């Protein structure tokens, strides 16, 4: 009795293994997710380092790119460490460019003494700079280049 069951099970195992083998054979070679054959050593993509030095603006209204590292400066609902150098009250002694006056206008056009809420999260508009190929290609030209 026991022997019969065992024979039955092994017959099942053998036939399913064979069936699996046949499927693997018919669907071609195994495709790896990392593209390239398993023994290949693939090179990591180039890391584009942040660049120092102020870059030319691509169009007149462009928020200037950030010419220094910025990830270490805390920016949340209460704290904005960028203002520690760029606010008009401190920029002179810090040797940093002062926020332009547009940053002190609220949405009704009132002049404020403190940075406007609409300009609080600097990295909404200002981004670090690196000379990297664009992720999505484009053929943008500023309007003065079209004249
Ligand atoms: C420790 C002082 C300091 C802090 C903090 C600081 N900056 Fe600056 N920032 C500077 C200085 C100095 C320059 C001018 C650098 C130069 O001319 O190469 C500058 C330049 C810039 C410019 C370029 C302005 C232009 O007209 O080209 C932008 C934009 C800027 N910073 C944004 C930021 C943002 C956003 C933060 C916060 C994430 C920040 N900065 C924090 C000192 C600071
Ligand atoms: C809504 C978009 C926006 C936000 C948010 C914003 N900026 Fe700007 N910023 C601009 C634009 C656009 C310019 C260039 C035109 C101008 O001066 O208004 C600029 C100019 C600057 C300049 C150059 C000023 C000059 O006269 O050369 C500095 C420095 C700067 N921003 C820093 C900051 C910092 C620091 C913050 C956060 C407290 C911030 N910005 C938030 C859009 C923004």
Query: How many CB atoms neighbour CB 7 within 10 A?
Result: 10
| Terminal C-alpha separation, the chain | 94
**Is 103's C-beta closer than 6 angstroms to any atom of ligand 2?**
yes
Condensed to tens digits (0 to 9), the pLDDT of residues 90-116 reads 999 999 999 999 999 999 999 999 999
Query: Is the pLDDT confidence value at 18 over 90?
Result: no
Tell me which of 4-13, 59-68, 83-92 is least confident: 4-13
Q: Whose CA is nearest to atom 11 of ligand 2?
A: 63
Q: Whose CA is nearest to atom 4 of ligand 2?
A: 119
Query: Is the pLDDT confidence value at 28 over 60?
Result: yes
- In this prediction, residue 44 has a pLDDT band, given cuts at 50, 70 and 90, of confident
What is the Å distance from ligand 1's center to 97 Cα?
7
Q: What is the pLDDT of residue 3?
A: 54
What is the Å distance from ligand 2's center to 64 Cα?
7
Structure letter (DSSP) for residue 33: T
Condensed to tens digits (0 to 9), the pLDDT of residues 59-69 reads 989 999 999 99
Query: Could you give the domains of the chain?
Result: 52-130 (1.10.1130.10)
Find, among 147, 122, 139, 127, the residue nearest to 55 by Cα: 127
| Average pLDDT score over residue span 37-65 | 86
From CA 121, how far away is CA 80, in angstroms rounded? Answer: 8
Residue ranges around ligand 1 (CB below 6 Å): 54, 64, 66-68, 70, 73, 81-82, 84-86, 94-97, 122-123, 126
**Is 68's C-beta closer than 6 angstroms to any atom of ligand 2?**
no
Tokens 């022997």 correspond to 3
């Amino acid at each position: 009795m026991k022997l019969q069951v065992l024979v039955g099970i092994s017959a099942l195992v053998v036939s399913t293994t064979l069936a699996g083998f046949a499927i693997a054979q018919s669907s071609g070679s195994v495709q790896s997710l990392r593209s390239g054959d398993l023994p290949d050593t693939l090179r990591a993509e180039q890391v584009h380092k942040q660049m120092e030095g102020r870059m030319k603006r691509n169009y007149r209204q462009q928020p200037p790119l950030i010419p220094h590292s910025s990830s270490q400066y805390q920016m949340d609902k209460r704290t904005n460490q960028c203002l520690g150098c760029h606010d008009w009250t401190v920029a002179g002694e810090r040797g940093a460019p002062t926020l332009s006056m547009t940053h002190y206008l609220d949405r009704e056009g009132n002049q404020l003494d403190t940075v406007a809420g609409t300009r609080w999260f600097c990295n909404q508009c200002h981004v670090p700079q690196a000379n990297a190929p664009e992720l999505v290609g484009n053929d943008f030209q500023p309007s003065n280049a079209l004249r």
